[in-house]
Amino acid sequence: MSDAPVSFLPYGAIIQSLNVGGLNIVQGFPRQEDYEKFNFPYFGATIGRVANRIKGAQLDSINGGKTYALAKNNGPNNLHGGNVGWDKKVWNGPTPMGIRQIPGLGEIEGGESVKFDLVSPDGEEGFPGTVEVSVVYTVGKQQQDGKEVIVLGMEYEAELVGGAEETVVNLTNHSYFNLSGAPTIEGTVVTLCTNTHLPLDDGGIPIAGPAPFPKVEGNTPFVLGAVDPDIDDCFVVNTDSKTIPIDTRNEKLVKLVEAHHPDSKVHLEVYSTEPAFQFYTGKYIDVPEVPGALARGKRSGFCVEPSRYVNAINVEEWKNQVLLKKGEKYGSRIVYRAWRE
């Protein structure tokens, strides 16, 4: 995408830059080799085969009651697809996909689209079944109150093509946003669409169904400070798990998070068709100094990771969200809108 405000890398199908009014608002590195060496926080990466954590690094009962052992790469749990998840694969692409609109968002100018795709073989990182997966990025602009709004849409699709009758899929993008260009996110004003969340144990695994979040109010702005609030939690948009399809692309596009920084006057909105999202304030960011990098220390960026419920595959009443059967397609959509006053 020549002269586009957004750039991508085939490695991890990564969003490398998102430029808004002269400011790149996503954390990252200038070169692929930097991501290969230092991207422990998953800056900008496409996360799979399963985003977030799986309890005990084990799939308890799929494909006729079979159990599958996964890598324990986050204490006793599996995180973001294991030791070599899709964030560490070189995807095919970018393949031009022409001009597209983004359903549910109104008209956009431009709409130039590219696709990245990948084949994940049966048994990779312990997961059953061969999966074909793709992400299509669409970049365009809108006008809002005389301001130019940059729009970035993501559409995910995955299909089980062999090796098993069932597998598990839960995709997201793991961009870290910094709306001011300052060393930390301090001063950023954030509003979450809900304060319903999944209470977690110390390892980040849900211990109960949806409940009120104690730290902030939903639909009420709050300010990110130097230390608090410290958030790394899964917020729930759709609390009726039985109604959540494996392909959410035709569900309503919901504004999950809006944020702005009063100094830079940069605004960000994150939308998705997904039933949940992880909101993370970057406590564990720790990367070395890399020349030309937008990658700093703790709380240098915040994440909004639209996805399914955490550990859904191992909770009977939630597993329909992530259990992909042969003949079905997994799908989801995410949209970023950003502008500068």
**Residues with catalytic roles:** 174
Helix (H) or strand (E) segment spanning residue 272: strand 266-272
Q: How far apart are CA 212 and CA 46, in angstroms?
A: 29
Nearest to 332 by CA among 321, 319, 316: 321
Q: What 3-state class would DSSP assign to 275? A: coil
Nearest to 180 by CA among 6, 14, 341: 341
Q: How far apart are CA 299 and CA 92, in angstroms?
A: 32
Tokens 């639909």 locate to: 219
Nearest to 256 by CA among 211, 224, 295, 302: 302
What is the residue type of 283?
K
Q: What is the 3-state secondary structure (H, E, C) of 224-253?
A: CCCCCCCCEEEEECCCCHHHCCCECCCCCC
Give burial (CB, 10 Å; 0-12/13-18/19+) of 4: middle
What pairs with residue 339 in β-bridges? 267
Task: Note whether 278 and 302 are within 8 A (CB).
Answer: no
At a CB cut-off of 8 Å and minimum separation 6, what does 234 contact?
52, 197, 198, 200, 206, 276, 277, 278, 309, 310
What φ, ψ does residue 99 adopt, rounded to 5°?
-100, 135
